[in-house]
Structure formats: structure tokens, C-alpha cells
Amino acid sequence: MAVFPWHSRNRNYKAEFASCRLEAVPLEFGDYHPLKPITVTESRTKKVNRKGSTSSTSSSSSSSMVDPLSSVLDGTDPLSMFAATADPVALAAATDSSRRKRDRDDNSVVGSDFEPWANKRGEILARYTTTEKLSINLFMGSEKGKAGTATLAMSEKVRTRLEELDDFEEGSQKELLNLTQQDYVNRIEELNQSLKDAWASDQKVKALKIVIQCSKLLSDTSVIQFYPSKFVLITDILDTFGKLVYERIFSMCVDNRSVLPDHFSPENANDTAKETCLNWFFKIASIRELIPRFYVEASILKCNKFLSKTGISECLPRLTCMIRGIGDPLVSVYARAYLCRVGMEVAPHLKETLNKNFFDFLLTFKQIHGDTVQNQLVVQGVELPSYLPLYPPAMDWIFQCISYHAPEVTLQCDAHLLYGDSPCTLCLFMLMGPLHNSYSNVSASQPL
């Protein structure tokens, strides 16, 4: 076999390197480059309107690297500039029209045969009264830096809100003692108005503080006979807060060109609305105490419509399990009543959660014979026959929600109690005993 001598091929590395390089494009002066420092030229003109007036013009230039993410703080991002140029009259008209359509849609979720909560509100306030002195303990945080927030720049608002959140645990404690029932009602109404005023003045953190502190009052059973009326008053504030948050997020999805449909889906909501909605849920999730965290999140349950189609159906079971951490049976049953109320407003077809709340109450009802409740009744001088009638307003509402358009198998039974079968919901409700005069006339032996 022939052997050929081996030798290296001559190569021109400079020519090869030049041919492999990217084509250089000459950059003329004034062309945009992402790494080129931005030059800002500011012109100032001074005019004097008197004799011998002079005018002078001065200009200054500065070069600095500008962070593109910081533009959202000063309102120079495209979304803020578009919102600033939008016609406010057309925007307000579109929002009002959409709100009216949405209100009609909300009222059509449940039919006219469903008794609304507003009809029960006045009856509860009139029946559950007290002559004992009441107290309100509020921990609202300090009031420093609250003035002039409406005129601050966007970046200043962000910093101010962060400082307010940091200052949440360092505020002043305000306690109102020896209040009569009417004084208590007036004070709660003032807090409701303060919530609206804070929201209107763009003090969202202050509004959230008011709602949190009012929700904490629902853990106080020092005057236990007044608790049903207190629940009605505090939930009015929660309803106001939930409506304000929902309207704010909904307004972010409306501009002068389009309006959300009545039955909108999360795909119809823009990223700004979704981000704001998530921000509210994250803020609420950081609340340390269970009761205010539950009530505030339940008040904005409807806002899950902006995030996911299954958001409400996923949150209701989780909130139901949260109530299991409330030790007082009276406080927990009213928490269940509020969850059933907000659940019926947005998803009346989810009967499983309603049934779970009812059966959870049956499992915890025996706590009324425990030492904690009995000692509390002894301290307040309340007998058990006077304590049990505090439950019917909550149970009546829960049972109304369960029975609304429920299948017959849920409401009818033949002889569960006689033959030892699994009892239906109504049978278990009868087993609790005569909590209220209206239920004591029904016999368990009658066919249901």
C-alpha cells in the first residue's frame, strides 16, 4: 500500500475570522441604542410682565441610565399614559352602564323566592338587644404621613403605602368603653363611613386596616346576648369593602372602547386587573389572626372571577375548613352563615359546601356543654335557655341556603330515625332540639 507524506494545510486565520464575523452596521449619531445613555434636555423660560421685561432661556442636559421598570412609578408607562389620555366622561358612562348590568345580573343569581339577607337584618337588630355597656377596641396604626396623599407622585404613594404597612403593628390603640347600644351602633356606622372616605381619598391601606379591626370585633363575646346584632353591623362594613374592591378591579377592565359582558370570563380581564386582584388576596393572606383573615377574604370572594373559572369553587371548601379553627361555637356558626351568604351570591349551585358547613356545625355543637362555654356563661350570668336562642339567626340562614332549589332527596326522608339509616339534613336539624320557638312546634315523628 502506498504511503503518502502528510503535511498541514495552509490557512489564513485572519480571513476566516473576518468572514465569520457578523456584518457590522454603522451606527449613525442620534440612532437609538438600548445601552446608550438617555439624554434629557430641560428648558426653562422666564417672562417678566413689566417695563424692561426680559426673557431668559436655560437648558441643562443630564445623562443617566433609566430603569425601564421604574417608569410605572412615575406614570410614564404605556398603560398609565393611555389611561391619562382616555376620555373621563366616556369612561364614567361605560363604567356606570356596566355596573347597572352587573347589578341586574347579580340579582338574577337567586330568584325572588329566596328571602334576601336584608329582610332578616332589621329583625335581628330589633330582637337581640342589650342594656349592658359595650366596648370597641381598635388598633388602627399611627396617623403620620396621611395628609396630602392625593397629590403625591406615584413613586411617593408606593413608598407611603409600604411605610403604612410597616407601621401597622406600631400604631396607637384606641379603646372606647361604657358605650350604650345606640352609641355602639353609631360608632360602627362612623367606621363604615370612614371606610368609604378612606377609599375615596385613595387610602387603600387605611381602608384595609378599618376592615381588619372591625372583623376582630367578631371574636369578642364579652356581651354574648348582643352578638347577633354585632354580626349584622360588622358584616355591613365587610359588604361595603367587598363591593369597593370588586368595583375597583372591574373598572380596570373597562375603558372607553369596550365593556365587560354580563357573564365575563377570566380571559376578558386584563393583566392589570388580575395583578391588582392577586395583590389584594396576598395582602389578606398576610393577616395573622384567623377570624379577620377569614372574614376579609370571604368579603372579596367574588373577585375570584377575575382570576380563574374555578377560583370560587376552590376557595369555598378552603374557607369552610378555616372555620374549623374557631373554637367558640357561637362565633363559628355565624362565620359559617356569612360564608354561606357570600357563597349564595356568587355560586348558589355549589350545595356541597353549604352541606359541609351544616354538618361541621353539628359536629361542634356539643361544645356548648364544654368547660369553655359554660364558664363564659357563668361569668356573664347567662343561662343555657337564654344562650341557645342566639343560634337560630345563623342556622335559619344556613338552612335556607341549603334548601333553596335543593333536590328532594336532601329534604325528604321516610323513616331514617326509626330504622337507623343515615339521616337527611332536615332530620339532623331536628335532632339539635328546640333552639327557637319556631322550630319547637315541629315533631320529629311527622313525615318530612
The whole-model pTM stands at 0.66
Q: For 20-52, what is each residue's pLDDT tens digit?
A: 877 766 655 555 555 655 555 554 544 445 444
pLDDT at 194: 92
Residue 89 clears pLDDT 80, i.e. is over it: no
Query: Distances in Å between the alpha carbon of 333 and those of 37, 246, 328?
Result: 63, 26, 9
Residues 321-368 have pLDDT tens digits of 999 999 899 999 999 999 999 998 888 888 888 889 988 998 888 888
In this predicted structure, the answer to whether residue 445 has a pLDDT above a threshold of 50 is: no
Residue-wise pLDDT tens digits, 210-220: 999 999 999 99
CA pair distance 387, 429, nearest whole angstrom: 18
Work out the number of other CB atoms within 10 angstroms of the CB of residue 89.
Answer: 9
- pLDDT reported for residue 170: 42
Task: Give residue 272's pLDDT.
Answer: 86
Q: Name the residue ranges covered by the structural domains of the chain.
A: 117-139+174-443
Give the C-alpha separation, 358 to 315, whole Å.
17
Higher pLDDT, 7 or 390: 390
Average pLDDT, integer, range 147-155: 49
Is the pLDDT reported for residue 416 higher than 90?
Answer: no
d(CA 146, CA 299): 26
**Tell me, what's the pLDDT at 39?**
56
Task: Please report, for residues 101, 343, 348, 349, 424, the alpha-carbon distance to residue 354 in angstroms, rounded to integers and kept in the order given.
Answer: 28, 8, 9, 10, 14
Residue 287 has pLDDT above 50, yes or no: yes
pLDDT band with cut points at 50, 70 and 90 for residue 158: low
Average the pLDDT over 193-201 and give the result.
Answer: 92
Query: In the prediction, which pLDDT does 216 show?
Result: 93
Please compute the mean of the pLDDT values over residues 108-114 and round it to a whole number.
Answer: 69
- Residue 211's pLDDT is 93
- Would you state the pLDDT for residue 198? 93
